[in-house]
Structure 1
Amino acid sequence: MTSTSASAAAMDGIYRYQRHAYDLTRRYYLLGRNELITILQPPPGGSVLEIGCGTARNLVLTARQYPEARLYGLDISAEMLKSAEATLRRNGLEARVTLAQGDATRFDAEALFGQSHFDRVFCSYSLSMIPGWETALQHAGASVRPGGELHVVDFGGQNDLPVWFGRGLRNWLARFHVTPRERLQDAMSAIASEMGGTLSFRSIYRDYARLGSIRLTD
């Protein structure tokens, strides 16, 4: 079994049943997702790719906020994509959003979506679940067209929260194979430098989460 197949099988195992209650439960602790969608601001008719789209919850909100945008979603889990397809049908968005199964560390956007670069690419609480997250982040950056933007929101270090809270959160997240990426800012800074972009990065909710954006030059 290849590493991609093994990762897909692992994610399917986790979400085969959890996907049915995913949005209901995650709304209380995946903080900052709506804020990320608000700052996307794709150009009229622009393309937006979410890496690790899960149930398509974020894609639905993005579609509503930016009705002219062309939307794409990638996920390694076939089980989650079943929920994503159902979500899009339920919201009448199946014609506006293209979904594909793929590994965030090595997907071929041209083969999957018919285009290799996007005006906006974002990762919402997905890097903390990807073993090769730095490679996935680099691949995401490489998928942004000149003048475009890469946005990330994910768990922070909980440095400004009580120690007991941070320890309990990490132990609980580990049960779902989730690991906060404390080097996220450094990794995004390196990508911005390498690609000639500018990085904005900040902690939100007392470092419960971190929100970063890279804008590439034209």
Structure 2
Amino acid sequence: MDGVYRVQRHFYDATRKYYLLGRDRMIAGLDVPPGGTVLELGCGTGRNIVLAARHYPQARYFGLDISAEMLISARKAVEREGISGKVVLERGDATAFDAQALFGRASFDRVFVSYALSMIPGWEKTIALGLEALASGGSLHVVDFGGQDRLPGWFRGGLRAWLTKFHVAPRDELRELLESEAQRTGASLEFESLFRGYAVHAVMRR
């Protein structure tokens, strides 16, 4: 991943804002309690943590990413925003992380994953670990590519072919997996399709 992002990290946010739809909506709906804790899995350039901190300035933020290159950009973004004192960023695998070892705490009020599941091999483990990292009463928030089922076939095919070039694959079985995890853990699930199926947004509450 470092090889992929060594160059891309410099213009990642400028280009992704045009097609990573639904991120801001998800962040606005995090509803972080005062003094709460927020963990982002696959924090990338830090763009989402910075935006979340603007919405919820009293919260504390934690982020992990497998790419050391992306974390360079994330730390710079956090420094520019002047929020280094309430953000902790560490290198970690979203499919096999130990929050206690990385951050000195095992649970968080909010955990979110934004357009990362479609890039992570073994992404199912990320969902399971995200749920395990929730404090009592916490919630897991996910936004990612949907199945594009209500968009023209030519658009769907073209989008998927283009995403493949960047090692991205929409997880068509995401809803089924979330429903299974909700049943396994006793969590509630809200799942919605956005922009005619272009993206999906899900919230799981424990």
The aligned residue for residue 98 of structure 2 is: 108
Query: After superposition, what is the alpha-carbon deviation per residue over 1:72-131, rounded to whole angstroms, capped at 9, x for unaligned?
Result: 111000000000011111111111110000001110100111100100000000000001
Is 1:193 the counterpart of 2:183? The answer is yes
Which residue pairs with 1:81 in the alignment?
71
Equivalences for residues 105-184 of structure 1 within 5 A = 105-184=95-174
Please report the RMSD computed on the Cα atoms of aligned residues, expressed in angstroms: 0.6
Match for 1:59: what amino acid? I
How many positions carry a matched residue from both structures?
206
Report the alpha carbon displacement of residue 186 of structure 1 after superposing the two structures with TM: 0.9
- SS at structure 1 position matched to 2:89: strand
Q: CA deviation at 1:185?
A: 0.8
Q: 1:200: Cα distance to partner?
A: 0.3
1:108-167 superposed Cα distances (whole Å, 9 cap, x missing partner): 100111100100000000000001000111111111112100000000011111111111
| TM-score scaled by length of structure 2 | 0.99
Deviation at 1:29, TM superposition (A): 0.2
Structure 2 CA distance for aligned equivalents of residues 131 and 111 of structure 1: 23
Runs (4 or more) in structure 1 with deviation over 3 Å come to none
Q: Tell me the alpha carbon deviations over residues 43-96 of structure 1, each in whole angstroms, 9 at most, x when there is no partner.
A: 110100000000000000100000111101110000000000111111111111
Shift of 1:196: 1.0
Secondary structure at 2:14 match in 1: helix
Deviation at 1:193, TM superposition (A): 1.2
Match of 1:59 in 2: 49
SS in 1 for 2:73: helix
Q: What is the distance in 1 between the residues matched to 2:107 and 2:72? A: 25
2:121 aligned partner, one-letter code? P
Aligned to 1:153, the other structure's residue is in SS state strand
Match of 2:87 in 1: 97
The alignment's TM-score, normalised by the length of structure 1, stands at: 0.93
Q: Extract unaligned runs of 5+ from structure 2.
A: none
Seq. identity, %:
57
